[in-house]
Amino acid sequence: MKTIKFRNGDEMPIIGLGTWKSKPGEVFQAVLWALEAGYRHIDCAALYNNEKEVGNAFEQAFKENIVKREDLFVTSKLWNSNHRLDDVPTALKKTLKDLKLDYLDLYLIHWPISFKPGVGFAQHREEFYTYSDVPLIQTWEGMEHCKEQGLTKHIGVSNFNISKLNELINSGSIVPEMNQIELHPFLPQEKLVNFCRSHGILNTAYSPLGSGDRSASIKKANEPSLLENTTIVEIAKKYNASPAQILIAYSIQRGIAVIPKSVNKERINENLAATTIDLSAQDMAKIANIGVSYRYVDGSFFTGPISPYTKDDLWEKE
């Protein structure tokens, strides 16, 4: 299994099973199939509302000796309603209880957006905190405390732009170790990836296949398809692979971890097999010049007239 390395030498499998959008009743079996297939990296989040079921799968996998805890890499994420200093470890302990684990391998701030306690998705202005109410560095301090307490081995962020990363780098005691971001050929994130590399921050690509199965409420009409893009389809035929495998191989070739989601046994196996594809420099160049620019998860559900946040708080201008 290919890996990427943290600054202290710890390794993270470069491919993991994503669990966003995996429904209760499906994710338990999906995680077991993944572990049986050879996955050793599972990506979770409190927001996904399925961590208890993922935890049940872990418990069974350990009992059946499919995998040992020390050989498994588990990531989870802090939701927006737990950004206050004292709420961070409380949230992580809840996640650990749900996942039936003693520690995480990686814990991330899910978004640089803060809600008041108990809010799932803010619907009114009074349900948001501002950066004045809860500065990002306060949340990061809580993350640092979690690492110091041994609740997680590594800490990082998700959906942070360069400005927000610099805020933590300049004010925190620990430089973020990971930035999980939407990344695929339509959104290569070169500027942000290069910044992260220059500061020893790893990257994980979410929605690497375009997240076509996400809720209609956060999709736009006539979104461009990664899986049906002619360049990707042509390259897939050349390697006797599926378009999904080429998209996964694209991130791996760049040294970026990738977490495709599936609850289908055949696709779970197929996605893992993408780690054996070695794309040529010419094909990587074709993908780099694909001619389409698109962000699938645009963050509009956190911005707008009721929110104190704007898209400039989220995204890097390419």
Give yes or no for residue 238 having a pLDDT over 90: yes
Give residue-wise pLDDT tens across range 32-68: 999 999 999 999 999 998 999 999 999 999 999 999 9
- Position 215 scores a pLDDT of 57
CA dist list (Å): 44 to 41, 166, 173, 293: 10, 26, 26, 27
pLDDT band at 20 (very low <50, low <70, confident <90, very high): confident
Q: How far apart are the first and last CA of the chain?
A: 32
CB-based burial label for 75 (10 Å; 0-12, 13-18, 19+) = buried
Give yes or no for residue 214 having a pLDDT over 80: no
Mean pLDDT over 189-194 rounds to: 97
- Position 219 scores a pLDDT of 63
Q: What letters, b where the CB count within 10 A reaches 16 and e where it falls short, cover 195-231?
A: bbeeeebbbbbbbbbbbeeeeeeeeeeeeebbeebeb
Mean pLDDT over 290-318 rounds to: 90
pLDDT band at 212 (very low <50, low <70, confident <90, very high): low
pLDDT band at 310 (very low <50, low <70, confident <90, very high): very high
Residue given tokens 């390697």 in the structure block: 239
pLDDT band at 121 (very low <50, low <70, confident <90, very high): very high
- Backbone Cα Rg of the chain: 19
- Position 190 scores a pLDDT of 96
Q: CA–CA separation, 304 vs 281, rounded Å? A: 41
Q: Could you count the other beta carbons within 10 Å of the beta carbon of residue 135?
A: 17
- Position 318 scores a pLDDT of 59
Tokens of 116: 């008041």
- Position 316 scores a pLDDT of 81
Q: CA–CA separation, 124 vs 24, rounded Å? A: 28
Give the chain's mean pLDDT.
95
- 48 given a catalytic annotation: yes
- Position 220 scores a pLDDT of 76
Mean pLDDT over 238-267 rounds to: 96
Give yes or no for residue 11 having a pLDDT over 80: yes
pLDDT band at 216 (very low <50, low <70, confident <90, very high): low
- Position 24 scores a pLDDT of 79
Residue 154 forms beta bridges with which residues? 106
Q: What percent of the chain has pLDDT over 90?
A: 90
Q: Which residues contact 157 (CB under 8 A, 6 or more apart)?
A: 108, 109, 112, 164, 165, 168, 176, 178, 179, 180
Q: CA–CA separation, 197 vs 85, rounded Å? A: 28
Q: Which domains does the chain show, CATH number per domain?
A: 3-313 (3.20.20.100)
- Position 13 scores a pLDDT of 98
Q: What is the largest CA-CA distance in the chain?
A: 54
- Position 218 scores a pLDDT of 61
Tokens of 20: 């966003």
Residue 256 forms beta bridges with which residues? none
Residue given tokens 């805020």 in the structure block: 167
Q: Estimate to the nearest angstrom the gap between the alpha carbon of 314 and the chain centroid.
A: 15
Sign of the CA dihedral with 198 first, then 316, 243, and 230 last: negative
Select which of 48, 107, 250, 296 is catalytic: 48
